[in-house]
Every structure is written in structure tokens, then in C-alpha cells.
Amino acid sequence: MKKELKIAATIFVVVFIIDQVVKYGFANLGWDVDGPYMSLKLAYNYGVAFSMFSFLEHYLKYIQLVIVLIATIYLFMNKTVFKEYYLPIALLFAGGLSNILDRFTYGGVVDYFYWHYGFEFAIFNFADVMIDLGVVIIIYKQIKQSREEKKKNGI
């Protein structure tokens, strides 16, 4: 368990710092770049994915902090879950807490990746990608585990 915690903490710190440094550059140093397929353009998201719940703009950071606190308590009480999923948990917590920090620092989440070739896609950031990667890893592990159980039970 100690090894997993060290790895998770390292991943958390690295992802969190990279995300915050990049966001600082876009928010304060004007790192915007226009491209033919994708642009790097500063935008603030006052809601969650695709700006949903933006009407909760001022309360969202507190709601999200409560969710992170509940998840932390759950993991503390279920150490086997953490041991099994420490990598995606580190990615989820780093991305989630970095986005929450944006809400306190900038008033909204700093987004900057803007895909606009062929179709326009939502603007997102590195933390969002890490959150998505964490979810994909969890889903992959769940599918793999389900298949192994079916094979073991002869189904």
C-alpha cells in the first residue's frame, strides 16, 4: 500500500503542477495560438463539462470540494479500492482539484484546447484529459476483471 501511495502522490503532484503552470501561461502570459485544425485559446468555463450547471457558478467549487472530500473518505475506508485503482484515482484527483483551484483563483476553469477542423468541439484543458484518462483506465480494468470472472466461472 505504501508503494501505491507514493506512486499516486507523485503522479498527482506532476499532473497538478503541469496543469497549473500551463493554465497560468494562458491566463496571464497570453499563450494563445491559432491553428488550422486546433487552436490554443483562453476560455473560462463557469460550469462543468460543456458548461453544464454554469448557473451554479459561485457554488460549484464548494459542491465539488464536498464531492472530493466524500471520495477521499470512501477511499480511506476502502483501502483495497485505492490499491486496485491508485493510478486512475491519482489522475482524477489531480485533474479535479486543479480545476477546482481554477475556480478559486480565476473564477472559472481555465480551458485552452479548441478543436475546430470539420466540426467545433468544446474547449478543454490538460486536467480534463487526465480526468478522462482516469475514467478510461477504470472502465478498462472493470471490463477486464468482468471477462476474467466470466472465464473463471465458465460463462
pLDDT in tens, 52-106: 677 777 889 999 999 999 999 999 999 999 999 999 999 999 999 999 999 999 9
Kindly state whether residue 142 falls inside one of the protein's structural domains: yes
The per-residue pLDDT for range 7-41, each reduced to its tens digit, is: 999 999 999 999 999 999 999 999 999 999 999 99
Kindly state whether residue 31 falls inside one of the protein's structural domains: no
Is 19 part of the annotated catalytic residue set?
no
Count of the separate structural domains present in the chain: 1
Tell me, yes or no, if the pTM score tops 0.75: yes
Q: Which of 19, 34, 102, 128 is catalytic?
A: 128
pLDDT score of 32: 93
No. of helices (H) and no. of strands (E), the chain:
4, 2
Kindly state whether residue 33 falls inside one of the protein's structural domains: no
Q: Give me the amino acid identity at 35.
A: G
**Which residue has 497560468 as its cell numbers?**
24
Kindly state whether residue 34 falls inside one of the protein's structural domains: no
Kindly state whether residue 69 falls inside one of the protein's structural domains: yes
Q: How far apart are the first and last CA of the chain?
A: 33
Q: Which of 19, 34, 102, 111 is catalytic?
A: 111
Asked whether the beta carbons of 122 and 50 are under 8 A apart, the reply is: yes
Is 32 part of the annotated catalytic residue set?
no
Assign 72 to helix, strand or coil: helix
Q: Distance between CA atoms of 76 and 44, rounded to whole angstroms?
A: 33
Asked whether the beta carbons of 91 and 134 are under 8 A apart, the reply is: yes
pLDDT score of 50: 66
Identify the domain containing residue 118 by its residue range.
2-26+41-152
**Which residue has 485503482 as its cell numbers?**
85
